Amino acid sequence: MKNGILFDKVSFSYEKGSRQLTNINIQINKGAFLGITGVNGSGKTTFTLLMNGLIPQQIKGSFKGNVYIDGINSREKPVSYFAKSVGLVFQNPDFMLFNLTVKEEIEFGLKNLQLEKHKERISKALKTISMAGYERRDPQTLSLGQKQKICLAAVLAQDPDYIVLDEPTAMLDYRSAVNLYKLLQSLNEQGKTIIIVEHDTDFLNEYTDQVIVLNQGRIALKGKTKTIFSDTKKLEKIGIKIPRLKP
Ligand SMILES: Nc1ncnc2c1ncn2[C@@H]1O[C@H](COP(=O)(O)OP(=O)(O)OP(=O)(O)O)[C@@H](O)[C@H]1O
Ligand SMILES: [Mg+2]
């Protein structure tokens, strides 16, 4: 299939470490709103790093199988190629922030992707995350939650088809987290594919249409959110919070 992200018999282990992902097979269709959950160390972040070629292009290890992004094998093009279509918001914002101002930070990605209209893109993205006017701030002087929002703004400014977010709400207050999900929902309605790593199954239950539960580097459960979350016994066994079902 040409559209979407396809994992075909993917296994991966970091250079130092045992097997982190084992035999991952999944087709993520374009337009999906997919949640990924699982306990600490189950492989969620590793999974996201496979979605734009960072593994194996920049992060080395033993990689078996293939990942296809819109039909292109992730081994065959540089990360900068996939970055045009797949925007990744990292779990640790310090991984991304190294420029002197918020503006330069966001602009860095725009330049890399040779996108135009920097000023408009930057101010629109900052407005979207309720941080209008932060262009000249030094990212290092921001709170963790604000840093994470800047990382999100950098990705939004690039307007990619796929938006992959690794625990974006972990450092956000409740209102910001709800606002983020509402934003993602509207982006999804506009055709963006959203892939989000999240421990809070209530958010996944309310907003996503499909979920994957990872357990010890394997896909333990995958399918429609409502179906997966109705099997509370399995969730409990894996160590996942059972969502409060909507009344
Ligand atoms: N750079 C690395 N080198 C070696 N092992 C690693 C590296 N990064 C992660 N691991 C190991 O890979 C496994 C999966 O880690 P990963 O970060 O993908 O988990 P996670 O599900 O994202 O966890 P968390 O909920 O804590 O973010 C863990 O056992 C971890 O110790
Ligand atoms: Mg992680």
Rounded mean pLDDT, 223-236: 95
Specify the pLDDT at position 96: 78
- Is 185 a residue whose pLDDT tops 90? yes
* Cα→Cα distances 234→199, 229, 237, 239, Å: 16, 9, 5, 9
Q: Tell me which residue has its CA closest to atom 7 in ligand 1.
A: 14
Mutate to test the pocket of ligand 1, among 10, 14, 240 (most ligand atoms within 8 A of CB): 14
Rounded mean pLDDT, 77-91: 93
Specify the pLDDT at position 94: 79
What are the extents of the domains in the chain? Answer: 32-57+78-238
DSSP 152-210: HHHHHHH--SEEEEESTTTTS-HHHHHHHHHHHHHHHHTT-EEEEE-S-HHHHHHH-SE
Q: Which ligand is nearest to the CA of 166?
A: 2
Going by pLDDT thresholds of 50, 70 and 90, the confidence category of residue 2 is confident
- The CB of 239 under 6 Å from ligand 1? The reply is no
Specify the pLDDT at position 246: 65
- Is 220 a residue whose pLDDT tops 70? yes
DSSP 161-176: SEEEEESTTTTS-HHH
Q: pLDDT tens-digit profile of 107-132?
A: 999 999 999 999 999 999 999 999 99
Q: Domain 32-57+78-238 falls in which CATH fold? A: Rossmann fold (3.40.50)
Specify the pLDDT at position 125: 96
- The CB of 160 under 6 Å from ligand 1? The reply is no
Amino acid type, 142: L
What's the 118 CA to ligand 2 centre distance in angstroms? 31
CA of 48, closest atom in ligand 1: 18
Q: pLDDT tens-digit profile of 9-46?
A: 999 999 887 789 999 999 999 999 999 999 999 999 99
- Is 1 a residue whose pLDDT tops 70? no
| Tokens encoding 15 | 């250079």
Mapped onto helix, strand or coil, the DSSP state of residue 243 is coil
- Helix, strand and coil percent figures for the chain, each rounded to 5: 40, 25, 35
Whole-number average pLDDT of the chain: 94
Q: pLDDT tens-digit profile of 49-65?
A: 999 999 999 998 999 99
Quote the CA–CA distance of 155 and 143 in Å, as a whole number.
Answer: 19
Rounded mean pLDDT, 69-76: 96
What's the 41 CA to ligand 2 centre distance in angstroms? 7
Contact 43, 14 (CB under 8 A): no
Q: Tell me which residue has its CA closest to atom 25 in ligand 1.
A: 40
Q: Which ligand is nearest to the CA of 199?
A: 1
Amino acid type, 229: F
- The CB of 40 under 6 Å from ligand 1? The reply is yes
With residue 63 as reference, give the H or E element that holds it: strand 61-69
Query: Which distant-in-sequence residues (6+ apart) come within 8 Å of 117 by Cβ?
Result: none
Contact 47, 216 (CB under 8 A): no
| Tokens encoding 221 | 């459960």
Contact 4, 27 (CB under 8 A): yes
The neighbour count for residue 232, using CB atoms within 10 Å, is 12
Helices 102-112 and 144-158: crossing angle in degrees, nearest 10, is 30
Specify the pLDDT at position 16: 84
